[in-house]
Amino acid sequence: MTIRPGIRPAGDRAVLVELPGNATVRKLARLVPRGLAGIDEVVAGHETVLISWEPGRRPPVDLEARLSAMLSSSSTEGEGGSIDVPVVYDGPDLAAVAEHAGVSPEEVVRRHLASRFEVGFVGFAPGFAYLLGGDPSLRPPRLDEPRTKVPAGSLAIAGEYSAVYPSESPGGWNLIGRALIEPFDLHRDPPALLQTGMHVHFVESS
Amino acid sequence: MSGPGLLPSGSLAGLVRVIDAGARTTLQDLGRPGHAHLGIPASGAADIPAATLANRLVGNAEGAPVLETTLRGPELRFDAPVTVAVTGAEVEVTVDGRPAAMHAPFRVRSGSLVRIGQATRGLRSYVAVRGGFDAPLTLGSASHDELTGLGPAPLKPGDRIDLGSHALDAPTVDVAPVAPILSSPVLHVVPGPRDDWFAPDALTTLLGVAYTVSDQVNRIGARLRGPQLQRRTDDELRSEGIARGSIQVPPSGWPILLLADHPTTGGYPVIAVVSEADLPAAAQLRPGDIVRFRLRRPPAAEPRSEDFA
């Protein structure tokens, strides 16, 4: 099957590539840095990839063909990896999330633990990973009033995403617990623990 | 994150003491591009040509750390003789009370007080010293990132900054011709990537009406005031990567022009992106400036992608 990426200009030296689904996003994000010359940044988003070239460079005319070839390749090299993340489900919004889903808080925890998450993309803050693959019954909207301070390590859900806040920041997601990890550490290489394409499994910590 | 004040002091090259930090003065180099996929902005000097010119004037490598001022510059006491250059926003520079020229290297004696005054046009001036400033690197860069706080903290009175070892040959450029910074610049834009999320007249409005720069300007972006840009849809855009120079439109309809420390992803549609050549002028916009946008067709692509060796 040929996938024809939609290419939208993002200034003179970047394009936003629209893709059908987040699996192709992860594939392209993995292959572009190795397959095209002069790349500055490759930023995965929800069903998009922003590709920017180094200062002074421009996207090549045969970009669409090059991207199509990457998407139809069978390469799985360098894919994801997986990580178990210990969590405590004691967040202030657990009850509200349960009420929204029409189930008990214990059932929210059970469904969240049973989900197989994958990092769709990283953004918002250094090391903030948008996790896809959560249980479809658990999709609470964002808070009407974002909190001005969300503690680092908070496990949160909003819409179809789950995430762990890597540092204290404002935030509008529902806090259902705490993850016992350091999502962002400058003294680690790479500093972000969770990266696009990685499989994430939450494990309840006693 | 250690501030410059925490650096060990008294290197052989000498040091600079911060007497007055100015309105907001940060260390900047060419930033830390290549980490956006981890949520880390490229950061670096907002007006890159001005920063690299300052370095060339004192005979440094172009990417040596420099000071980036904001509207009102710092007062610095030098404890060693050194060559200095100031570029970017037009500002009065004095050495022990005597005026010094911008865009030209000048010599400072040990014990001299260098004062960078209030910018009369433009927002950010750059101060380079021969050898560069010595600052700890975070992910390969000495740039302070206003969004994430990465890099050395903004200067504060009492800080001591060592001089570094970024000098190349002796400076050969005496004075550099520079285009004046305008208080009502025209910035060329490429429409998209989400111009189709807006009402049909939104792009016409953006291109046809002058916008005023609000007082909400920092290294992340500049909020503009003028006609609100109406969206065609109330759908929520899902997070996507953003390019430097993006003109993002939040629900208020007032555009935000995103600069060096912009978030790597965002959920507000981008109606157009300022072209690379006009990013330095965008970085010099100050509150009250009038900015006009003009269409720039997407440029010719490179003939063919180079094969990746």
Q: What does the pLDDT read at residue B301?
A: 66
What pLDDT is recorded for position B235?
82
Distance of alpha carbon B260 from the chain centroid: 6
Q: Is the pLDDT of residue B210 over 60?
A: yes
pLDDT per position as a tens digit, B71-117: 999 999 999 999 999 999 999 999 999 999 999 999 999 999 999 99
Percent of chain A with pLDDT over 70: 97
High-pLDDT (> 90) share of chain A, %: 82
Average pLDDT of chain A?
A: 93
Nearest by Cα to B111 from B86, B132, B81: B81
* Res. B8: pLDDT tops 50: no
Residue B173 to residue B59: CA distance in whole angstroms: 8
DSSP per position, B6-46: GS----TT-EEEEEE--SS-EEE-S--TT-GGGT------S
pLDDT band at B251 (very low <50, low <70, confident <90, very high): confident
The closest alpha carbon to B263, from B45, B46, B39, belongs to B39
pLDDT (mean) for A188-202: 93
Q: A115-136 pLDDT, tens per residue?
A: 999 999 999 899 999 999 999 9
Nearest partner of A49 among A12, A82, A3, A10, judged by Cα: A10
| Residue from the list A42, A45, A50 with its beta carbon closest to the beta carbon of B243 | A50
Q: How far is B1 from chain A (nearest CA, A)?
A: 10
Q: Would you state the pLDDT for residue A206?
A: 73
Confidence of residue A55 (pLDDT cuts 50, 70, 90): very high
| Torsion angle of C-alpha atoms B91, B92, B94, B98, degrees rounded to 10 | 150
CATH class of domain segment(s) A6-72: alpha beta
Nearest CA in chain A to B30: A55
Q: Which residues of A are less than 8 Å from B42 in CB distance?
A: 41
Confidence at residue B21, expressed as pLDDT on a 0 to 100 scale: 98
Between residues B14 and B252, which one has the greater pLDDT?
B252
pLDDT for the residue A145: 87
The alpha-carbon gap from B300 to the nearest alpha carbon of chain A, in Å, equals 8
Search chain B and give the residue with CA nearest A50.
B241
Q: Do domains A6-72 and A82-204 have the same CATH topology?
A: no
* Stretch among A134-143, B134-143, B156-165, B229-238 having the lowest mean pLDDT: B229-238
| Angstrom distance (rounded) from CA B149 to CA B235 | 32
Mean pLDDT confidence for A167-186:
94
Residue of B nearest to A166 (CA): B39
Average pLDDT (B172-194) is: 89
Can you tell me the mean pLDDT for A139-159? 93
What pTM value is reported for the model? 0.91
- C-alpha A204/C-alpha A64 separation (Å) is 45
Contact B238 A191 (CB under 8 A): no
Q: What is the pLDDT of residue B305?
A: 57
Whether the pLDDT of residue A98 is over 50: the answer is yes
Domains and CATH numbers, chain B: 16-161 (2.60.120), 186-295 (2.40.100.10)
Give how far B307 is from chain A: nearest CA, Å. Answer: 7
Residues A196/A26, Cβ–Cβ less than 8 Å: yes
Closest-CA residue in chain A for B265? A123
CA-CA distance, B202 to B193, in Å (whole number)? 14
Burial class (CB in 10 A: 0-12, 13-18, 19+), A7: middle
In chain A, domain spans? 6-72, 82-204
The answer to whether B302 and A62 have CB atoms below 8 angstroms apart is no
Tokens of B230: 């109406």
Length of chain A: 206
Q: Please give the average per-residue pLDDT across B252-273, as a whole number.
A: 95
A-B CB pairs within 8 A amount to: 157
Nearest residue in chain A measured CA to CA from B298: A12
If pLDDT is split at 50, 70 and 90, which confidence band does B308 have?
very low
Residues of chain A contacting residue B148, judged by C-beta atoms under 8 Å apart: 125-126
Range in B80-84, B89-93, B169-173, B187-191 with the lowest mean pLDDT? B169-173
pLDDT at B5 over 90: no
The percent helix, strand, coil of chain A (3-state, each to 5) is 20, 35, 45
B39/A50 touch (CB, cutoff 8 Å), yes or no: no
Q: What is the pLDDT of residues B39-69, one digit of tens each?
A: 999 999 999 999 999 999 999 999 999 999 9
The whole-angstrom distance between A90's CA and the closest CA on chain B is: 27
Q: Which of A43, A46, A60 sits opposite B264 (nearest CB)?
A: A43
Label residues B156-182 b or e (16+ Cβ within 10 Å = b): eeebbbbbbebbeeebeeeeeeeeebe
Residue B1 confidence (pLDDT): 38
Q: Rounded CA gap, B246 and A200, in Å?
A: 32
pLDDT at residue A79 is higher than 80:
no
Q: How far apart are CA A53 and CA A13, in angstroms?
A: 5
The predicted structure's pLDDT at residue B309: 35
Average pLDDT, chain B: 91
Residue B241 to residue B224: CA distance in whole angstroms: 22
Best B62, B247, B248, B264 member to test A by mutation, with max A CBs in 10 Å, is: B264
- For B102, the token pair is 């911008």
Closest chain A residue by Cα to residue B270: A10
Contact A46 B40 (CB under 8 A): no
Nearest to A60 among B265, B299, B305 (CB): B305
Q: CA-CA distance, B200 to B152, in Å (whole number)?
A: 45
What ipTM is given for this predicted complex?
0.91
Task: Give the per-residue pLDDT at B10.
Answer: 43
Best of A43, A46, A186 to substitute, by most chain B Cβ atoms within 10 angstroms, is A43
Helix locations, A36-73, DSSP H: 63-72
Fold of A82-204: Cyclophilin (2.40.100)
**pLDDT single digits (tens) A37-47:** 999 999 999 99
C-beta of residue B233 within 8 angstroms of C-beta of residue B241: no
Q: What is the mean pLDDT of residues A59-76?
A: 91
